[in-house]
C-alpha cells in the first residue's frame, strides 16, 4: 500500500517538474543573482572578473536623483491608487448592486477598460490629454473659453494625470471584486437592520463595510503592489518625464541598468525595491488583519 502511494506521489511530482524547473531557472535564479550582483562592480564595461564592493552600490542610491525620484513617485502613485481605487470601486459596487434596469450594462462599461493593455490605455490617454490640435480634452476646454492644460508636460500635474488614467482603467476591476463580496452577504442582515430602524448609511457602516473586509484586503494589497511596480503605463504616457516627474522605481531601474549600463547599481535598487514592497505589504496585511479582528 505504501509503495503504491509513493509511486502515485512520484507520478504527480513528475507532472509538476517541468513547471518547477522553469520557475527555478527564470524566477528564482535571476532573483538570487540580483543580490549577488548588487555587491559587485558589474557594469557594461566590466562583465567578467567581478570584484566585491560591499554596500557601495546601495550608498550610491541616496546620491542618484533618478533613483530617488523613482522611489518617491512610486510611493505617491501607489498610495493614491490604493486609496482611490478602493474607495471608488466600493462606491460603484454598492451602487450597481441595486436592482437597476441597466446595471449589467453599467457593470460591463465600468469593467471594460481593465480588459485592455496598459500600453493601449496609455496611447489612448496620450491622445486625449495632448495639447496638440487633436487633443480632445484640451479642445473641449478651448471651446468653453478656457486655457489648455498641459497634463503630461507639466511636472506638477504629470504624475497625477497618470493616476487618473489608471483609476479610470482599474476601478472597474475593484468594483467586480467588491460585487462578488457584496452578493455573498446574507440579505436577512439588512432586513434585521431595517426592523431596528437603521438608515441606509448606518447599514453601510455597520453591516456592509465590516463584511467587505476580505475583498478590501485583496483590492488594497494588489493595488499597492501594482502601484509600486508600475512601469508600462509610464512608458506609454510620459517615459518618466518631464524631467524625473513621473519616474518610478521600475523605469529608474531599467534606465540605470540597461540604458546607462550600471548593472550593479540597478541590482542594488532592485533589492531595495524588494525590501520596500515586502515591508509595506507586511504592514498593510497586519493593519488590515487587525481591522478584520475588530469587526468580527
What are the tens digits of pLDDT across the range 42-80? Answer: 988 888 888 999 899 999 888 889 989 999 999 999 999
Model confidence over 127-181: pLDDT tens digits? 999 988 778 899 999 999 889 999 999 999 999 999 999 999 999 999 999 999 9
Of 182, 180, 202, whose CA–CA distance to 192 is shortest?
A: 202
Q: How far apart are CA 220 and CA 213, in angstroms?
A: 10
Cα–Cα–Cα angle for 269, 274, 277, rounded to 5 degrees: 120
The grid cell for 44 is: 557594461
Q: Where in the chain are the domains?
A: 38-295
At 151, is the secondary structure helix, strand, or coil? coil
Residue 261, pLDDT score: 86
pLDDT at site 163: 96
What is the chain's mean pLDDT, rounded? Answer: 89
Q: In terms of Cα–Cα distance, which of 289, 205, 280, 291 is closest to 249?
A: 280
Q: Angle of helix 136-143 relative to helix 118-129, nearest 10 degrees?
A: 30
How many CB atoms within 10 Å of residue 262?
Answer: 22
Indicate the pTM of the whole model.
0.88
Q: How far apart are the first and last CA of the chain?
A: 45
Topology (CATH) of 38-295: MetI-like fold (1.10.3720)
Residue 296 is predicted with a pLDDT of 54
Amino acid at each position: 500500500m505504501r509503495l503504491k502511494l509513493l509511486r502515485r506521489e512520484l507520478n504527480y511530482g513528475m507532472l509538476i517538474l517541468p513547471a518547477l524547473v522553469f520557475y527555478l531557472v527564470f524566477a528564482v535564479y535571476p532573483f538570487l543573482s540580483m543580490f549577488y550582483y548588487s555587491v559587485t562592480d558589474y557594469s557594461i564595461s566590466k562583465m567578467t572578473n567581478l570584484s566585491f564592493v560591499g554596500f557601495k552600490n546601495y550608498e550610491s542610491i541616496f546620491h542618484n536623483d533618478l533613483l530617488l525620484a523613482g522611489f518617491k513617485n512610486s510611493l505617491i502613485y501607489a498610495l493614491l491608487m490604493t486609496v482611490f481605487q478602493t474607495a471608488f470601486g466600493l462606491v460603484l459596487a454598492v451602487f450597481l448592486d441595486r436592482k437597476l434596469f441597466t446595471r449589467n450594462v453599467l457593470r460591463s462599461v465600468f469593467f471594460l477598460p481593465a480588459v485592455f493593455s496598459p500600453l493601449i490605455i496609455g496611447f489612448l490617454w496620450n491622445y486625449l490629454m495632448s495639447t496638440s490640435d487633436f487633443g480632445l480634452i484640451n479642445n473641449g476646454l478651448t471651446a468653453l473659453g478656457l486655457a489648455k492644460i498641459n497634463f503630461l508636460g507639466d511636472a506638477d500635474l504629470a504624475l497625477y494625470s497618470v493616476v487618473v488614467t489608471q483609476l479610470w482603467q482599474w476601478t472597474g476591476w475593484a468594483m467586480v471584486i467588491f460585487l462578488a463580496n457584496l452578493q455573498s452577504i446574507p440579505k436577512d442582515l439588512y432586513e434585521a437592520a431595517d426592523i431596528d430602524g437603521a438608515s441606509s448609511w448606518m447599514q453601510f457602516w455597520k453591516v456592509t463595510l465590516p463584511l467587505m473586509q476580505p475583498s478590501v484586503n485583496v483590492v488594497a494589497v494588489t493595488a499597492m503592489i501594482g502601484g509600486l511596480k508600475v512601469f508600462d503605463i509610464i512608458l506609454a504616457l510620459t517615459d518618466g518625464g518631464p524631467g524625473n516627474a513621473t519616474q518610478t522605481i521600475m523605469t529608474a531601474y531599467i534606465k540605470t541598468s540597461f540604458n546607462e549600463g550600471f548593472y550593479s547599481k540597478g541590482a542594488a535598487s532592485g533589492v531595495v525595491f524588494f525590501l520596500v514592497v515586502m515591508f509595506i505589504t507586511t504592514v498593510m496585511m497586519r493593519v488590515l488583519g487587525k481591522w478584520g479582528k475588530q469587526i468580527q
